[in-house]
Amino acid sequence: QQFPIDSGEAGVKKPPINYTPKSIKSFHDTPFANWDNFTNSIIDESAGVTFGEINRFDAEQLSLLKQILQMNFFRIFRLNLFKECPFWSGSSGFCTDRSCAVDTISDWKDLPDIWQPEALGALANVSAAPKVPNDQNKDYCELDEINDETVFVDLIENPERFTGYGGDQSFQIWKLIYSENCFNLGHDQCMEKNFFYKLISGMHASISTHLSHGFIDLKTKEYGPNLQQFMFRVGNFPDRIENIYLNYILVLKALIKLESLGILDSLEYCDDDHFNQSSTEIKVELGELIKPSYQLGNDKETCLFDENGLFQSSNAAEIKDEFKVNFRNVSKLMDCVGCDRCRLWGKIETIGYGTALKVLFDLQDTKNFEPSRYNISNVELVALVNTFGGLSKSIEAVQEFKSMYDKALIEETTGKKKEDGKKHIPNMDVFENKDEIVDFTNPKVFESAGSASQSSSGYDDIVFPEQSHSSTVKEAFFTELDNVWKTLQLIFRSYKVFPKIAYNWCLIRIVYYWNRFIGHVQQDFDVNRLYHEEL
Ligand SMILES: Cc1cc2nc3c(=O)[nH]c(=O)nc-3n(C[C@H](O)[C@H](O)[C@H](O)COP(=O)(O)OP(=O)(O)OC[C@H]3O[C@@H](n4cnc5c(N)ncnc54)[C@H](O)[C@@H]3O)c2cc1C
């Protein structure tokens, strides 16, 4: 079945898509509190598919998608984890926790012949090299070159989950990512700007959903879903949930386009004994995954997502170029992430979204189109399918959190108390300081070096490295000297505050045990909370 891809050349001009981000209004009006309304409403005006339809489609296809992601072709990813951050120096090594690490494949004999070290040179011709001459600078993201820093990672063994990476560095990287949503081409680009924001916000929300779903329980040391974290990061913000779904239909539409134009069929998958699936099996399973989505939505012409609504204005070509440059900067920023596991998934996702954008906006479906000459590498395909897998996992997690939310709601209404005395359903109350919510659609956020939340976050000691391109040995020497000086200052400052912390801690403990002794201790007395308030 050939799906009709609208090439945008003919036909009636559709009304513009509304990509305007909604401002944060009420936290009592969240999707979980109004689930029926939410599931029956449409994700995107241009296609008419509802959130509920995507939930059902995703549930139906989930086991097949998981099976596909288990195939060696999709689970082994090649990248450079040690590439220098191109924007500043000295940013690596921030997160030294074990959970930030990536287990790379060191046992080479587990890999197919084409990935053996001696064949690495040839690998460039097999899996990454474009089939037609291509200037990578024209793409939406940068692919890592193959060199002696190349590593192979088993993605199933290294899932995206909570790593503990945070503080000022990750905030600054998010801020820089959102600051790429800045276009210089006048008012015409408003729609593209909003679309860019939603894309980034959806990626951010999906990462936050994964880390809340694979959150560490400090008591059991096991990873599992944490409703509080999810509500705090995503669940209380309708826009963030919506943006996950928008990204889902965007990536799915790119897969539909690749499938319907015969490109997936024409690609060379590796037939090697080490691969647990043959090329034919991969093609059949991808087809089975994608084809049922042709039935989704009520606008069969645009199918899910109408890419032709974007980049239509008189200066569309310039806007598109700027959009590409900005998204490429986002992909380069992944080399600045100071946590290997986060960097791994950040890279996969930016390549995945970059590939989806390339397929949707640059692939011209002309009369003489030859699928076998379309320029898409295996790395891009693997990233695209894994990005789709990640979004599907987020949608599955949203529904699991909804069940947890309902259970917590029943417990709350029947008056059952949690052991730690905390509320079952975190809503707006969890934001004791409303300034913690940073609205990246507000240009003022980018005017200051930090943000209101970060200035009071307790991470003031960490000074984010300034953008630098130390070209001379002398400059590099003084940069390092400055770093050493700042580190020493940090150590001395912590010695200075230590007596106060120790004193407060002892005082709180004494009060606690005194109260217990005289029998006045309250049942839900939370020492830790008091301790933090004291600090
Ligand atoms: C590329 C990248 C990948 C990462 N991967 C991981 C990972 O795999 N595991 C892990 O544990 N940590 C990861 N992190 C760190 C994680 O994303 C958070 O930065 C960290 O947990 C600190 O969270 P936070 O609560 O301070 O808010 P952050 O998530 O850092 O958000 C900063 C601000 O952005 C705003 N914001 C949050 N979400 C959105 C959204 N969806 N749309 C618009 N605005 C939003 C909020 O108001 C918030 O104050 C990653 C960070 C980066 C930059």
Q: Which residue in 115, 44, 47, 51 sits closest to 77, CA to CA?
A: 115
Average pLDDT over residues 120-143: 50
Both structure tokens of 196: 């860019």
Q: Are residues 265 and 187 in the same domain?
A: yes
The finding on whether 21 has its CB within 6 A of some atom of ligand 1 is no
* Predicted local confidence at residue 208, as pLDDT: 97
**Is the pLDDT at 213 greater than 50, yes or no?**
yes
For 401, residues 6+ apart whose C-beta sits below 8 A from its C-beta are 32, 212, 213, 225, 227, 230, 231, 235
For position 288, what pLDDT does the model report? 94
Tokens of 314: 């008189």
- Region of poorest pLDDT, from 10-19, 160-169, 278-287, 355-364: 10-19
Q: Which residues contact 14 (CB under 8 A, 6 or more apart)?
A: 46, 302, 306, 308, 309
- CA-to-CA dists, residue 278 to 4, 68, 73, 275, 301, angstroms: 29, 12, 9, 7, 33
Q: ipTM value, please give it.
A: 0.99
Residue 434 CA to ligand 1 center (angstroms) comes to 17
Dihedral sign from CA coordinates of 434, 443, 308, 140: negative
Q: Is residue 154 part of a domain?
A: no
Output the known binding site: 161, 163, 174, 201, 204, 233
Residue 315's domain comprises 39-71+164-413
DSSP 42: B
Establish whether residue 175 lines the binding site of ligand 1, counting it when its CB lies within 6 angstroms of any ligand atom: no
- Report the mean per-residue pLDDT for the chain: 76
From the CB of 160, is ligand 1 less than 6 Å away? Answer: yes
Q: Please, are residues 286 and 259 in contact by the beta-carbon 8 Å criterion?
A: yes
Which residue numbers belong to the known binding site for FAD? 161, 163, 174, 201, 204, 233
Query: DSSP secondary-structure letter at 21?
Result: P
Which of the pair, 53 or 19, is modelled with greater confidence?
A: 53
- Comparing 388 with 532, the larger pLDDT belongs to 388
One domain, residues 331 and 252:
yes
Choice from 204, 245, 344 to test ligand 1 binding pocket (greatest atom count within 8 A of CB): 204
Residue whose CA is at the smallest distance from ligand 1 atom 30: 171
**Cα of 15 from ligand 1 centre, angstroms:** 34
Alpha-carbon gap, residue 387 to 377, rounded angstroms: 15
CA 26 to CA 528: how far, in whole Å?
Answer: 30
* 265, part of any domain: yes
Are 407 and 479 found together in one domain? Answer: no
Better-scored residue on pLDDT, 213 or 231: 213
The answer on 206 and 349 residing in a single domain is yes
CA 22 centroid distance within chain? 20
Question: In the prediction, which pLDDT does 210 show?
Answer: 97
Whether residues 393 and 513 share a domain: the answer is: no
Q: Output the CA angle 174-376-364, nearest 5 degrees.
A: 95
**Helix 190-213 vs helix 340-362: crossing angle, to nearest 10:** 140
Q: Which residues of 102-123 are buried (b: 16+ CB within 10 A; e: fewer)?
A: bebbeeeeebbeebeeeeeeeb
Structure confidence by residue, pLDDT tens digits, 468-513? 444 577 878 887 888 888 788 878 877 877 887 788 778 777 877 7
Say what the pLDDT of residue 186 is. 62
CA distances from 200 to 78, 267, 445 (A): 24, 29, 16
Residue 99 has pLDDT above 50, yes or no: yes
3-state secondary structure of 260: helix
pLDDT number for residue 303: 72
Domain shared by 65 and 173, yes or no: yes
Q: For residue 117, is it within any domain? A: no
Report long-range pairs for 491-499 (Cβ below 8 Å, ≥24 apart): 493/461, 494/461
The predicted-structure confidence for 231-260, as pLDDT tens digits, reads as follows 889 988 888 999 999 999 999 999 999 998
Within a domain: 108? no
346-355: average pLDDT? 96
pLDDT for position 161: 93
| pLDDT for residue 408 is more than 80 | yes
Q: Give residue for tokens 């995507």.
A: 54
Stretch among 109-123, 217-231, 294-308 having the lowest mean pLDDT: 109-123
Q: Are the CB atoms for 480 and 474 separated by under 8 Å? A: no
Examine residue 174 and state whether it is found in any structural domain, yes or no: yes
Q: Of all helices (H) and strands (E), which one includes residue 276? A: none
- For residue 59, being part of any structural domain is answered with yes
Q: Which residues are marked as active site?
A: 339, 342
- Same domain as 387, residue 479: no
> What is residue 64's predicted lDDT score, i.e. its pLDDT?
96
The residue among 397, 413, 429 that closes a domain is 413
| CA distances from residue 212 to 137, 332, 389, 481, 491 in whole angstroms, order as listed | 35, 26, 17, 39, 32
Measured in Å, residue 349 CA sits from the centre of ligand 1 at 14
Q: Among 327-336, 349-358, 433-442, 464-473, name the one with the lowest average pLDDT.
A: 464-473
Cα–ligand 1 centroid distance for 167 (angstroms): 10
**138 vs 124, higher pLDDT:** 138
pLDDT band at 516 (very low <50, low <70, confident <90, very high): confident
**Does 103 reside within a domain?**
no
- Same structural domain for residues 275 and 176? yes
Share of the chain above pLDDT 90, in %: 29
395 and 313 within one domain: yes
Sign of CA dihedral 137, 326, 349, 4: negative
Say if residue 366 is in the same domain as residue 267. Answer: yes
Residue 2 lies in a domain: no
Ligand 1 and 196: CB distance under 6 A: no
- What is the structure's pLDDT at 248? 96
Poorest-pLDDT segment among 176-190, 202-216, 381-395: 176-190
Listed range (239-248, 381-390, 458-467) with the worst mean pLDDT:
458-467
If asked whether residues 228 and 365 sit together in one domain, one would say yes
Residue 524 above 60 pLDDT? no
Question: What is the total count of domains within the chain?
Answer: 2
Whether 499 and 373 share a structural domain: no
Ligand 1 geometric centre to CA of 371 (Å): 38
Residue 530 clears pLDDT 70, i.e. is over it: no
Atom of ligand 1 nearest to the CA of 203: 41
Which of 393, 413, 433 is the last residue in one of the domains? 413
DSSP H helices, 276-428, are: 279-290, 316-333, 340-362, 378-413
Predicted structure pTM score: 0.77
